Every structure is written in structure tokens, then in C-alpha cells.
Amino acid sequence: MSQQNRRLEVSEAAWRVIVREGLDRTSLRAIAQEMGCTTGVVTHYFRNKQELILFALTQVTERLKTAMERSLESASGVERLIAILCAFLPLDAKRQEIVRVWLAFLGYAVGRETLMKEHQQSATQLREILVKELKVLQNSRLLQSDIDPNIEANALLALANGVSLDSLIQADCLTPAQQESVIREYVERKLIFKA
């Protein structure tokens, strides 16, 4: 098994521990137990918890980017924007895990400047994809010409993040269909070009 594949295997184990236990209780020892190996095996690939957590965050970003790209394969026009935003929502078990790890990392990063910078860089990558799509749709006259894609990207991400957070903290949370409906209604009411 290659070093990169082994690092991914360790990262996957870290994900499972983070989702189950939370980031504060995630330790190299807990990850090693999850993998059925010694702590030495884990530290061979990651020197410490922070390095492992940063790698796990990179995996969150990559998974979100992949979800966004896949969602675009069958969409066109304004549906592309809705698909991108729905990629952020915890509509299935895989995306629920991504949201849990993303939020756990954010909570853990507060007060840790290096980790917060990494989180911000990760969020910036995802925001840039959204800004680019907004500009393409605006240039195609599918979205209103007076919206600012940079500001709107922040508003849309705040909406998607809020809906995602709701799914984790509310006992009576929105169903997947309702989550998608919230995004669709916002886009259709506020952004779509009306001739």
C-alpha cells in the first residue's frame, strides 16, 4: 500500500472517530484503536494531532469539491447553482459526515490561529467555485445583473451553512426535500433574471 493510500486510511479512521467522539476527544491513540494498530503506525504518517486534523480538513474540502462537480454533471442553467449549493447540504449519510467533520473542525479551530487560517483557506476555495458560477450565470443573463457575485456567494454560503447546521442541532429539522426547497426558493425569488 502506498504512503498516500495509508495516509488516507488513517484519515478515514480519524473521520470515524471525529464523527463519533468529536474533535476534542479525538486522539492519536483513539485513531490507532479505530484502525486496530499501534499509535506508532499513526505517528509514522502524521507527526501529531494537528497535522492529522489539517489533512482531514483537506479531505473535507476535496469531498465537497467532488460533490459540487458531480452535482453539475446533470444540471444546466440556474439548476447548476442550486446543485452546487445542495452539495453543501447533509442530504445523505455521506454528506452528513462531511458536515459533522467540517463543523467539528471549525469549533476546534476557534482560538487556534493556524487552524483557523487553514479553515478560511478551505472555505475560500469553495467560495471561489460559487463566485465563478454566479458570474457565468449572470453573464448568460440567467441571473439579475445588479447582484454582486462576491456578496451573493457569501449570502448563499451562509444560507447553506445555516440549513446544514439546523440539520444537526434541531430535533425537528428540515427534511432533505425541505432543505433543497429553501435553497431553490431563495435562488428563484432573489436571483433569477426576470425579463
| C-beta of residue 134 within 8 angstroms of C-beta of residue 158 | no
3-state secondary structure of 161: helix
Task: Tell me what pLDDT residue 181 has.
Answer: 96
**Burial level of 58, CB count in 10 A (0-12/13-18/19+)?**
middle
What DSSP element (H or E) covers 163? helix 149-169
Helices 93-109 and 49-72: angle between axes, nearest 10 degrees:
140
Q: What parts of the chain have a pLDDT lower than 50?
A: none
The tally of CA atoms less than 13 A away on the side-chain side of residue 111 is 2
Domains defined for the chain, CATH in brackets? 1-47 (1.10.10.60), 53-191 (1.10.357.10)
pLDDT (tens digit per residue) in 57-99? 888 888 888 888 888 888 899 999 999 999 989 998 888 888 8
- Stated pTM of the model: 0.83
Please state, in angstroms and rounded to a whole number, the distance separating the CA atoms of residues 77 and 48. 45
